[in-house]
Amino acid sequence: MKYLNQQEAISIDEELFNEYKFSVDQLMELAGLSCAHVIADAYAPESNKILICCGPGNNGGDGLVAARHLALMNYNPYVYYPKRTEKELFRNLQHQAESMGITVTTDCPDGASVEQEFGLIVDALFGFSFKPPVRDSFLPIMNVLQRSKLPIVSIDIPSGWNVEEGPQNECDIQPACLISLTAPKLCAKRLLNAQHYLGGRFVPKRLEEKYSLELPSYLGSNLFVKLN
Amino acid sequence: MKYLNQQEAISIDEELFNEYKFSVDQLMELAGLSCAHVIADAYAPESNKILICCGPGNNGGDGLVAARHLALMNYNPYVYYPKRTEKELFRNLQHQAESMGITVTTDCPDGASVEQEFGLIVDALFGFSFKPPVRDSFLPIMNVLQRSKLPIVSIDIPSGWNVEEGPQNECDIQPACLISLTAPKLCAKRLLNAQHYLGGRFVPKRLEEKYSLELPSYLGSNLFVKLN
């Protein structure tokens, strides 16, 4: 299986939209749903809430979708979504989550209450197009994640990591679980003792071959593959 | 569990789009994916092709989405889609299916070759907004379906049936499997020896309560419930 560099990840993404004519709505729904299925595979529902941290771009959109599906599966998601866009899709994703009774807040939770109230953190802050450094407004939540003892599930990229090189500092987060979408990026080779899943079962065979992705086989109708 | 009349089905659909702000792209993707998962649950992949008959509206769109996911799950779908719309979503759904190597044709297959080449028929012709009679251009395919000995999987409504009253004529199709989406419609009470599934796991609790749907529980992360 191939591990993508940043430019390959960007090119594949563009090709899915421009050549294969998928809409962002479609692929974000499938990606976020596969994330919810991975979380259900790796973590049983419990009384503690799941803190889902959503960034300003598509990675955050995947998090908003996952939150909605997790609520339908009897998990208790709580969304921190500080930096909103005016794009209709994102406003709608937020509205859908709130209409399901999910709190979506711009208030950064403090570290102590996170450890007390939550059982799991989903990191949907930055995705494959991230370039350091982290913007100032995201430093408080990055700080919470870096100090937390809770398991962190990162969507596509552990936030703050260089997409190709992995962690940049000793304090960078080490997720307990990474969900690579479409195909893993090079930084996934730098995971330490993490569960690694592949989600986003929508890649056309022809695209897989063009980029020599050599994706593993999804079993039956599963929306994810466990890679380790 | 409640069985909906036609007006309730239409109202719930409108509410999902207007109040909950789902896009058609999102819900069609989830509905079509759940149909593919039901088919994978009920019918193992085999060498024979699956004939997916897609009508001009959203029921046909669900069929186009299901075809794509079935191809990803190693089934061999073949789509008859005679009456196309200029809506971008539908043009894109067709393009996505064709880009996956799926044939999408406007040529009505003849009865003899259907029995020979196919192992299963998916009826995605008409949905819950259907009002008889069937338009002339769909009579040839309706005829093929009515005479076929192959198992038919109907999406949401067995095509040609009255949404509330069921079959209208002795020759009306009797599906081997019905996939009710969101909630079953009244005509589902008129099934004979059919497997009955519920798909479309996206209904907000508040909407379920407003319409007293009393939906059964989806198990784990399953996208469908088997109702019998």
Architecture of the A6-213 domain: 3-Layer(aba) Sandwich (3.40)
pLDDT, tens digit, for every residue of B27-47?
A: 999 999 999 999 999 999 887
Largest CA distance in chain B: 49
Can you read off the two tokens belonging to residue A137?
């407004």
Distance from CA of B106 to the nearest CA of A (A): 21
Q: Which pLDDT belongs to residue B56?
A: 97
pLDDT, tens digit, for every residue of A109-135?
A: 999 999 999 999 999 999 999 998 999
Chain B residues whose beta carbon lies within 8 Å of the beta carbon of residue A101: 205-206
Q: Does A47 or B17 have the greater pLDDT score?
A: B17
Give the residue from chain B lying closest to A21, CA to CA: B92
User: Residue range B2-14: average pLDDT?
Assistant: 98
Q: Which pLDDT belongs to residue B35?
A: 98
pLDDT confidence bin for A82, thresholds 50/70/90: very high
pLDDT, tens digit, for every residue of A171-218?
A: 999 999 999 999 999 999 999 999 999 999 999 999 999 999 999 999
Answer yes or no: is pLDDT of A47 > 90: no
Q: Which pLDDT belongs to residue B47?
A: 79
DSSP B79: E
pTM over 0.90: yes
- What is the arrangement of strands in the sheet containing B195-199, beginning at the earlier edge strand? B104-105, B77-80, B49-54, B118-124, B152-155, B177-181, B195-199, B224-226
Answer yes or no: is pLDDT of B72 > 90: yes
Q: What percent of chain A has pLDDT above 70?
A: 100
Cβ <8 Å between B221 and A89:
no
* AA identity, residue B180: S
User: Residue range A24-29: average pLDDT?
Assistant: 98
Q: Which residues contact A139 (CB under 8 A, 6 or more apart)?
A: none
Q: Please tell me the distance from the alpha carbon of residue A51 to that of residue A123, in angstroms, as a whole number.
A: 8
pLDDT confidence bin for B170, thresholds 50/70/90: very high
Answer yes or no: is pLDDT of B142 > 90: yes
Q: What is the dihedral of CA B16, B20, B25, B30, to 10 degrees?
A: -70
pLDDT, tens digit, for every residue of A133-143?
A: 999 999 999 99
A220 touches chain B (CB under 8 A): yes
Task: Choose, out of B16, B17, B26, the residue to mutate when testing the contact with A (most A CBs < 10 Å).
Answer: B26
B220 touches chain A (CB under 8 A): yes
Cβ <8 Å between A205 and B100:
yes
Q: Please tell me the distance from the alpha carbon of residue B192 to that of residue B177, in angstroms, as a whole number.
A: 10
Whether residue A175 contacts residue A194, with contact meaning beta carbons closer than 8 Å, is answered with yes
Answer yes or no: is pLDDT of A219 > 90: yes
Q: What is the mean pLDDT of chain B?
A: 97
Residue B185 main-chain phi, psi, to 5 deg: -95, 160
Cβ <8 Å between B100 and A204:
yes
A19 touches chain B (CB under 8 A): yes
B20 touches chain A (CB under 8 A): yes
Ordered by start, the domain boundaries in chain B are: 6-213
Answer yes or no: is pLDDT of A46 > 90: no
Q: Please tell me the distance from the alpha carbon of residue A152 to that of residue A161, in angstroms, as a whole number.
A: 14
pLDDT, tens digit, for every residue of B46-67?
A: 878 999 999 999 999 999 999 9
Q: Which of residues 72-101 of B touch A (CB under 8 A)?
A: 72-73, 89, 91-92, 95-96, 99-101
**What is the ipTM metric for this complex?**
0.97
A132 is in an annotated binding site: yes
DSSP B162: B
pLDDT confidence bin for A224, thresholds 50/70/90: very high
Number of residues in chain B: 228
Q: Which residues contact A116 (CB under 8 A, 6 or more apart)?
A: none
**Which residue has tokens 């191809």?**
B71
B185 touches chain A (CB under 8 A): no
pLDDT confidence bin for A48, thresholds 50/70/90: confident
B13 is in an annotated binding site: no
Tell me which residue of B69, B147, B62, B66 sits closest to B111, measured CA to CA: B147
Beta bridge pairs of residue B185: B4
Answer yes or no: is pLDDT of B223 > 90: yes
Q: Which pLDDT belongs to residue A132?
A: 87
Chain A residues whose beta carbon lies within 8 Å of the beta carbon of residue B72: 201-202, 218
Task: Choose, out of A15, A17, A26, the residue to mutate when testing the contact with B (most B CBs < 10 Å).
Answer: A26
pLDDT confidence bin for B92, thresholds 50/70/90: very high
User: Residue range B187-204: average pLDDT?
Assistant: 97
Tell me which residue of A47, A46, A118 sits closest to A80, measured CA to CA: A118
Beta bridge pairs of residue B181: B199
